[in-house]
A and B are shown apart, each in its own frame.
Chain A
């Protein structure tokens, strides 16, 4: 095969020989790069499906966590309200308390 020439002393090759070798290398090179990336795309797709099927992420108990946060907020809200009522003599109350 012509590629054997590539291993030989290329300095001795004529310009035409070098051109044909380069053309062959271009064909092989582009085909290989495309093949590798197509394989990576196929591999990625396969991995996505496999991971989705066998290793789906555990659903964290978000609702419970949110409820816990809410409970804390309520405690704080009550404490703030008690403080405001104590200062205002029971006349005023916080309507909305937000974390900044």
Chain B
């Protein structure tokens, strides 16, 4: 009887959890992320798969945790009771699935190969409307100001990490999950787990972080600047005689220009603009648009979320380097928001037409959540001050800005 009970005990994960209670911290982390995603509705489409990935990756014996390869590409795992080390890049996909489990198959085939981030960018492009940006073209410059956090944190992090690691950490300031993953895969793949988690967690916490930075850096008077009133006082001379044609030509032209200036950003910007193009063409490419924005985007998000979450195993996550990344990522995020606000303040010094600093704060890539949050803040100060369309201009420009910043980091550090 006792022997049977012992076997049952060995079959469960209880023994391993008792032996290494750090697993409990990971479960707590997964539950907190699930709570934020489900109850607080912070980016649930991303946070729920990531959190669930964290949960299922941390059950000893479950085989759902992603095994990170070391600098030489070696993964260490138990096979038939013996510890083996194999070069994961020389293993076939069926072998990875058989020896390391399906989560590693998904991770190495879709994430580590760099496939999913551009695919997700295509979906983001299909869901993005460049109309608000084209109508308020000058505001797009704040999409550049809000990349300040990336390079500011690169400067600080270079003292604690290698330049490649610092670059990967700093890209969190772009507030773009796929861009962070893409850059990290190129520069410091061993840090993918904490960087992806930090990037997505802070993106989910946009409704908390933007109000915090805005509160610390903006006055009530500045936040009450009404953009529509400013437009009436200083009306724009630009008229649009064919918005549809403009929206079709725009992604083609931007791709061409960015490809010439920063070729390393093409895989992200090019796919973003392709997704947008098939949306704007309309009925003739509607089937492609629907597939890119629904089927492919949703499938990619599920696989990305689950496998990124599954990289957060006890050994990969619970260390001082991760804590440094979490802290550095927060700084990058905060500095980026501040960079956008600072640029608005500078421009307001020299311009008659005043701009609400919230439009600078949304120069991040987190579309459209950052704009929605900024709009809510503006409405608190003045119920008639709807800044959503203005914020969308800098917000959409931020997607391009962060992809360009990533291209620069990859180009110089990769």
Contacts and interface: CB of A to CB of B under 8 A. Distances in A.
A and B bound? yes
Interface of A: 3, 6, 10-11, 13, 15, 18-19, 21-23, 25-26, 28-30, 32-41, 43-45, 47-48, 51-52, 55-57
Contact of B159 (A18, A34, A35): A18
A10 B163 CA distance: 7
B144 A37 contact: yes
Interface string B242-271: 111110011001100110011000000000
Given A30-B147, A39-B257, 11 more contacts: A6-B413, A18-B163, A25-B151, A25-B409, A26-B151, A35-B261, A37-B144, A40-B140, A45-B238, A55-B242, A57-B244
Interface of B: 133-134, 137-138, 140-141, 143-144, 147-148, 150-152, 154-155, 158-159, 162-164, 166-167, 238-246, 249-250, 253-254, 257-258, 261-262, 397, 400-401, 404-405, 408-409, 412-413
27 contacts: A6-B163, A10-B413, A13-B163, A15-B159, A18-B166, A19-B155, A21-B163, A22-B151, A26-B152, A28-B412, A29-B150, A30-B148, A33-B404, A36-B404, A37-B404, A40-B254, A40-B257, A40-B397, A43-B257, A44-B133, A44-B140, A44-B250, A45-B238, A47-B253, A48-B238, A52-B241, A56-B241
A18 B413 CA distance: 12
Contacts of A22: 151, 154-155, 158, 163, 166
Contacts of A35: 261
Q: Which 3 A-B pairs have the closest CB atoms?
A: A26-B151, A56-B241, A22-B158
B127 to A, nearest CB: 20
Contacts of B240: 48, 52
Contact of A47 (B141, B150, B152, B246): B246
B162 A45 contact: no
Contact of B408 (A23, A33, A51, A57): A33
A30 B246 contact: no
Contact of B141 (A13, A18, A34): A34
Contacts of B253: 43, 47
A37 B397 contact: yes
Contact of A48 (B134, B154, B412): B134
